[in-house]
């Protein structure tokens, strides 16, 4: 099998299967979460705070007061990584073509140099976060296989994408195939690992915001 | 027989032939210098090459055409005659080429068999076109199947040059669903040195360059893992594309006639396969160095790569999925929803069963146990 055939497989049936598993998995997990339900809260709300849940979904994206002092490494690296990832995934011209082709959605891209710098920043931030996780006794104790797996499958697409764009290490065709395969691995595992937080984070934020609103401690 | 007669009337060495045709030493050295550069040889090799070629006996060449469109022959004959490349090609002893030779029928076939006999172990075999394995009758020459003719001719060949994507990788005949069971030369011949010169068609100077290398050194050039001469196929079109700076800056044409296209911006979004195509179109160019597809406003279609016909639509960008659609994702979402409903039902019934099986423990029972 030549590298071009490998790329054709990566862009073709492999990608189709990865997308099918990812989408089906996400919908399944959402059904599972919502299907569990909650017991009706019969208590009278302590304060009337409409929209507290929805507000919290956004306010918790902003840094909490005192967070920078308490854990500057997690604070800075966490933001750098997430912002870098968003820029790379959603604002690289070649990636927009992917969304255009699949979802018929187009938006302006960022300059390539900015996307490139974001990729480097996100990779460095991921590495810093791993070292921080290993150095901090509490975090190390709390970390399991799932955490390290999530780290690896997030790093691989970033790293292979960077290497492919810069034509480094191996032939571009092979590296591009590896990049697409790494994205497919991420897609397949996303619904079933801690990476599902990319969807569940907003659900749990809404729930927390709403329940705290009812308890009179709305954010 | 005419072809054979014509060949016999030609001069014995290439150098004599060049003199007869009025090619000056300066022109000849210029050609050798260009070819030396193309083959990535040291500049000092140019004069050595000139010496070697001048003294070389006219190399016997047998050209077999199988399942092909004659585009490869068209390409090599359009090396803008009378360029020197063309003359060099004239000056090899092309003993058999059923498109170019004057002889036909049995005379033509006799030219092939006598050339094979006279130059056994020395002749260069050039093949264009794929070989059908499904049924020998799919493609025959003088009643001989392509497979039989290739095996017979390969036996006495010094080396084989597979010209064009069909001979090198199967090309268009091998495209899915490959109705004739087409295969490439190196799928059949395993015991001879094979030089792959892919392209649909290959660049004329790449073909002549490979021949010149063989004439000069009597050996085949350095090849890559796909059997291609590294000097011509060492880099991608994208690596050497004059539009590369636009790619690096993220400046892309959206359509073939928008302002960006007129400004010469990168054609990546229009499906250019330059980044994954190894060939020298961007450097040697076509039509006597005039232009190449990207320069004329169309993306590279990757014609020199194995199975490029089945590598997805020509106008889809490399980062686009080949066949994923919204309806596929919709079906996946529906399947996920169905599985989700099943799991929810299962979870809820487990929960309800646990609830109904729940027995309240009284304080008396607890205190009894404690005792």
Query: What are B297-331's pLDDT values in tens digits?
Result: 999 999 999 999 999 899 999 999 998 888 999 99
Which pLDDT score is estimated for B89? 57
Contacts of A165 in chain B (CB under 8 A): none
Does any CB of chain B come closer than 8 Å to the CB of residue A12?
yes
Which pLDDT score is estimated for B370? 57
Distance (Å, whole) CA B84 – CA B18: 9
B221 or B53: which leads in pLDDT: B221
Residue A47 lies in a domain: no
Which pLDDT score is estimated for A81? 96
Distance (Å) of CA A87 to CA A29, A95, A96, B294: 26, 10, 11, 30
Domain that holds residue A183: 3-21+67-210
> Cα B349 vs. chain centroid, distance in angstroms?
61
Which pLDDT score is estimated for B127? 96
With CB atoms and an 8 Å threshold, state whether A19 touches B226: no
Distance (Å) of CA B190 to CA A2, A166, B151, B253: 19, 37, 10, 45
With a cut of 90, say whether residue B209 has pLDDT above it.
Answer: no
Contacts of A21 in chain B (CB under 8 A): 332
**SS3 (DSSP) at A149:** helix
Residue A40 lies in a domain: no
Contacts of A3 (CB under 8 A, 6+ apart): A171, A173, A174, A177, B276
Which pLDDT score is estimated for B295? 95
Report DSSP state, residue B308. Answer: G
With CB atoms and an 8 Å threshold, state whether B311 touches A31: no
Query: Token pair 């790494």 is at which residue?
Result: A182
Does any CB of chain B come closer than 8 Å to the CB of residue A106?
no
For residues B252 and B246, the answer to whether their CB atoms sit within 8 Å is yes
With CB atoms and an 8 Å threshold, state whether B340 touches A27: yes
Neighbours of B136 (CB within 10 A): 14
Which pLDDT score is estimated for B369? 63
With a cut of 50, say whether residue B35 has pLDDT above it.
Answer: yes
With a cut of 50, say whether residue B8 has pLDDT above it.
Answer: no
Contacts of A4 in chain B (CB under 8 A): 276, 302, 305-308, 311
**pLDDT grade for B4, boundaries at 50, 70 and 90:** very low
In chain A, % of residues over pLDDT 90: 66
Residue of B239, B266, B336, B342 to mutate when probing chain A, most A C-beta within 10 A: B336
With CB atoms and an 8 Å threshold, state whether A101 touches B226: no
Contacts of A93 in chain B (CB under 8 A): 250, 252, 269
Across A122-126, B14-18, B42-46, B70-74, which has the greatest mean pLDDT? A122-126
Contacts of B305 in chain A (CB under 8 A): 2, 4
Which pLDDT score is estimated for A40? 82
With CB atoms and an 8 Å threshold, state whether A2 touches B226: yes
* Long-range CB contacts for residues B243-246, cutoff 8 Å, separation at least 24: B243/B267, B243/B294
Assigned token pair, A158 = 């970033």
With CB atoms and an 8 Å threshold, state whether A102 touches B326: yes
Which pLDDT score is estimated for B83? 56
For residues B297 and B256, the answer to whether their CB atoms sit within 8 Å is yes
Q: What is the mean pLDDT of residues B43-66?
A: 83
Contacts of B311 in chain A (CB under 8 A): 4-5, 7-8
For residues A162 and A182, the answer to whether their CB atoms sit within 8 Å is no
With CB atoms and an 8 Å threshold, state whether A2 touches B311: no
Residue A122 lies in a domain: yes
Contacts of A172 in chain B (CB under 8 A): 236, 238, 275-276
Does any CB of chain B come closer than 8 Å to the CB of residue A169?
no
Q: What is the mean pLDDT of residues B109-118?
A: 91
Which CATH number applies to B237-310? 4.10.480.10
Contacts of A28 in chain B (CB under 8 A): 336-337, 339-340, 343
pLDDT digits (tens, 9 = 90+) for B273-303: 999 999 999 998 888 788 999 999 999 999 9
B235 or A43: which leads in pLDDT: B235
Q: How far is B354 from chain A (nearest CA, A)?
A: 14
Contacts of B275 in chain A (CB under 8 A): 172-173, 176
Which pLDDT score is estimated for A36? 83
> Which of B238, B324, B348 lies closest to A102 in CB terms?
B324
Chain A residues 57-86 within an 8 A CB cutoff of chain B: none
Which pLDDT score is estimated for A48? 74
With CB atoms and an 8 Å threshold, state whether B339 touches A36: no
Q: How far is A41 from chain B (nearest CA, A)?
A: 19
With CB atoms and an 8 Å threshold, state whether A101 touches B316: yes
With a cut of 50, say whether residue B81 has pLDDT above it.
Answer: no
> Which of B276, B329, B336 lies closest to A4 in CB terms?
B276
Q: What is the mean pLDDT of residues B76-86?
A: 60
CATH topology for the B2-232 domain: Rossmann fold (3.40.50)
B56 or B242: which leads in pLDDT: B242
Mean pLDDT over all residues of chain B? 87
Size of interface A-B (CB pairs under 8 A): 143
Q: What is the mean pLDDT of residues B194-211?
A: 89
Distance (Å, whole) CA B298 – CA B286: 14
Domain boundaries along the sequence of chain B: 2-232, 237-310, 326-370
With CB atoms and an 8 Å threshold, state whether B340 touches A32: yes
Q: CB-based burial of residue B114 (10 Å sphere; 0-12 exposed, 13-18 middle, 19+ buried)?
A: middle
> Which of B307, B331, B340 lies closest to A5 in CB terms?
B307
Which pLDDT score is estimated for B277? 95
pTM for this one?
0.85
Residue B123 phi/psi, 5-degree rounding, is -75, 155
Contacts of B339 in chain A (CB under 8 A): 24, 28, 31
Contacts of A22 in chain B (CB under 8 A): 332
Does any CB of chain B come closer than 8 Å to the CB of residue A2?
yes
For chain A, the domain total comes to 1
Query: Token pair 């076939």 is at which residue?
Result: B109
Q: Which regions of chain A are under pLDDT 50?
A: none
């Amino acid at each position: 099998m030549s590298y071009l055939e490998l790329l054709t497989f990566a862009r073709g049936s492999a990608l189709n299967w990865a997308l099918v598993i990812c989408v089906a998995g996400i919908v399944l997990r959402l059904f599972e979460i919502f299907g569990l339900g909650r017991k009706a809260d019969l208590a009278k709300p302590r304060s009337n705070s409409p929209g507290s849940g929805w507000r919290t979904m956004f306010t918790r994206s902003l840094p909490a007061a005192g967070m920078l002092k308490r854990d500057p490494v997690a604070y800075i690296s966490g933001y750098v990584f997430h912002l870098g990832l968003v820029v790379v995934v959603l604002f690289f011209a070649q990636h927009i073509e992917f969304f255009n082709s699949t979802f018929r959605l187009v938006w302006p891209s960022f300059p390539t140099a900015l996307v490139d710098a974001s990729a480097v920043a996100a990779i460095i931030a991921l590495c810093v976060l791993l070292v921080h996780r290993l150095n901090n006794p509490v975090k190390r104790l709390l970390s399991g296989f799932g955490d390290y797996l999530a780290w690896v499958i997030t790093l691989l697409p970033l790293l292979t994408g960077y290497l492919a764009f810069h034509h480094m290490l191996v032939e571009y065709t092979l590296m591009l195939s590896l990049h697409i395969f790494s994205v497919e691995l991420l897609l397949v595992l996303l619904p079933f690992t801690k990476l599902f937080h990319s969807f569940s984070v907003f659900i749990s934020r809404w729930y927390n915001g709403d329940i705290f609103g009812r308890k009179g401690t709305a954010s | 027989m005419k072809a054979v007669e014509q060949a016999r009337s030609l001069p014995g060495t290439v150098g004599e032939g060049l003199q007869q045709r009025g090619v000056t030493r300066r022109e000849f050295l210029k050609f050798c210098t260009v070819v030396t550069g193309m083959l990535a040889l040291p500049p000092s090799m140019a004069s050595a090459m000139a010496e070697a070629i001048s003294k070389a006996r006219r190399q016997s060449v047998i050209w077999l055409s199988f399942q092909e469109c004659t585009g490869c022959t068209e390409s090599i004959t359009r090396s803008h005659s009378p360029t020197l490349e063309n003359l060099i090609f004239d000056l090899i002893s092309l003993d058999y080429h059923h498109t170019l030779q004057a002889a036909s029928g049995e005379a033509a076939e006799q030219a092939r068999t006598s050339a094979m006999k006279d130059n056994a172990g020395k002749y260069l075999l050039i093949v264009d076109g794929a070989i059908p394995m499904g049924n020998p009758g799919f493609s025959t020459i003088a009643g001989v199947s392509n497979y039989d003719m290739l095996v017979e001719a390969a036996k006495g060949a010094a080396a084989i040059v597979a010209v064009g994507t069909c001979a090198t990788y199967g090309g268009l005949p091998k495209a899915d669903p490959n109705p004739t069971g087409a295969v490439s030369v190196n799928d059949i011949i395993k015991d001879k040195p094979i030089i792959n010169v892919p392209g649909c068609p290959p660049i004329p100077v790449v073909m002549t360059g490979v021949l010149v290398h063989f004439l000069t050194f009597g050996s085949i050039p350095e090849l890559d893992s796909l059997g291609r001469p590294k000097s011509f196929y060492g880099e991608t079109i994208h690596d050497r594309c004059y539009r590369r700076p636009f790619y690096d800056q993220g400046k892309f044409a959206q359509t073939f006639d928008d302002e960006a296209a007129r400004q010469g911006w990168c054609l990546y979004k229009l499906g250019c396969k330059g980044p994954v195509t190894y060939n020298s179109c961007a450097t040697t160019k076509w039509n006597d160095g005039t232009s190449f597809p990207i320069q004329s406003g169309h993306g590279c279609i990757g014609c020199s790569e194995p199975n490029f016909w089945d590598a997805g639509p020509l106008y889809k960008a490399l980062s686009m999925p080949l066949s994923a659609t919204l309806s596929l994702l919709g079906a996946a979402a529906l399947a996920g929803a169905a599985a989700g409903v099943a799991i929810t039902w299962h979870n809820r019934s487990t929960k309800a069963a646990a609830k109904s099986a729940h027995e309240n423990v009284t304080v008396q029972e607890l205190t009894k146990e404690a005792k």
